[in-house]
Amino acid sequence: MVAAFRTAIDELEWMTPETRARAREKLARFNVKIGYPEKWRDYSSLEIEKDDLVGNLMRAERFSYRRMVDRLGKTIDRGEWGMTPQTVNAYYSSTMNEIVFPAAILQPPFFDMNADDAVNYGAIGAVIGHEISHGFDDQGRRSDGEGNLRDWWTQTDDAAFQQRAGRLVEQYSALSPLPGLNVNGRLTLGENIGDLSGVAVAYKAYRRSLDGRQAPVIDGFTGDQRFFLGYAQIWRGLYREDALRQRLLTDSHSPGEYRVNAVLRNIPEFHAAFNVKPGDAMYLPPEQRVKIW
Ligand SMILES: [Zn+2]
């Protein structure tokens, strides 16, 4: 995935050569954490009592507060994790310039040892690509490879980025999952860019892994089709109407349905894989497709 992202940086048309060089530099300094921390956090001083939910919560809060205060003035612990290993999630940290994948996300539908590469690249590959791209989006541009606040883009890059991002904002703002309530394309921009870049770069990585070989057809699906199916499967879900309403107003991620459909219609290889034609629900004319990474 990192090698594929490096290629994506090299091939990027809209970024100036000097900024591309800085992007390469930042990628080279990326740190990766997978599974669980090297050193376990010591919880022995935290008292947990059976039948005392409120007390447990208060003691846990106090424990965590003291831990934070204790760190003041001390050197940074680069081995620290912002999530527990049993959390099904992943993150990019701009201050550490690192991507982190807890053990719990390394299971189906995200990652399956028994699935073929196409499915895994489409699923966990797209998640990894999503997190990497956070290092290079409208937030990630503000910090460098060492995690220092320093905007490393030129105004020319910014203008080119805003032009593409603006089209993505329009696409998402037109989506209406509930009558009278649309997706907020501005609020969700960073995450939508992450989704779009994640799939695009994971696809590159998948093709790279084939190294010129022909992907096998499995259960009647080509490698490319399985790649996109693998991606679609990670965002299957249902919302109650109230929950969806709340999320549309507050969540920086788009609803699962659009994390798939609004992303894939921008990807030329998706159209080719399923022979999507004008008139099909997922069809988007080439000139309207947005490519950021
Ligand atoms: Zn994200």
Domains, in order of start, for the chain: 2-34+84-288 (3.40.390.10), 40-78 (no CATH)
| Alpha carbon of 187 to ligand 1 centroid (Å) | 12
| Alpha carbon of 77 to ligand 1 centroid (Å) | 23
pLDDT score, position 247: 96
Q: Which two tokens stand for residue 218?
A: 């499995």
Q: Which two tokens stand for residue 93?
A: 């940290």
Q: Which two tokens stand for residue 43?
A: 């919880």
Position 135 pLDDT exceeds 90: yes
| Alpha carbon of 192 to ligand 1 centroid (Å) | 8
For 235-273, the pLDDT digits (tens) are: 999 999 999 999 999 999 999 999 999 999 999 999 999
pLDDT score, position 117: 96
pLDDT score, position 69: 96
Position 154 pLDDT exceeds 90: yes
pLDDT score, position 138: 82
Q: How confident is the model at residue 13 (pLDDT cuts 50, 70, 90)?
A: confident
- DSSP string covering 140-187, please? GGGB-TTS-B-----HHHHHHHHHHHHHHHHHHHT--SBTTB---TTT
> Which of the residue ranges 7-16, 82-91, 236-245 would you say has the lowest mean pLDDT?
7-16
Selecting among 131, 137, 157, 191, the annotated active-site residue is 131
Q: Taking all residues of the chain, what is their mean pLDDT, rounded to a whole number?
A: 96
pLDDT score, position 110: 98
The verdict on whether 80 is a catalytic residue reads no
Position 24 pLDDT exceeds 90: yes
The verdict on whether 131 is a catalytic residue reads yes
| Alpha carbon of 180 to ligand 1 centroid (Å) | 26
How large is the C-alpha radius of gyration of the chain? 21
Q: Which two tokens stand for residue 176?
A: 């209406």
Please report where in the chains the tokens 């998706």 appear, as a residue.
270
| Alpha carbon of 255 to ligand 1 centroid (Å) | 13
| Alpha carbon of 140 to ligand 1 centroid (Å) | 11
Selecting among 98, 191, 195, 224, the annotated active-site residue is 195
Residues 6+ away with beta carbon under 8 Å from 184 = 172, 173, 248, 249
Q: Which two tokens stand for residue 189?
A: 């921009």
Q: How confident is the model at residue 137 (pLDDT cuts 50, 70, 90)?
A: confident
pLDDT score, position 221: 98
> Which of the residue ranges 144-148, 178-182, 273-277 would you say has the lowest mean pLDDT?
144-148
pLDDT score, position 293: 85
Q: Averaged over 34-56, what is the pLDDT?
A: 96
| Alpha carbon of 125 to ligand 1 centroid (Å) | 14
Determine the Cα–Cα distance for residues 232 and 226; give it in Å rounded to an integer.
10
- If one counts every other C-beta atom within 10 angstroms of the C-beta of residue 99, the result is 25
| Alpha carbon of 226 to ligand 1 centroid (Å) | 23
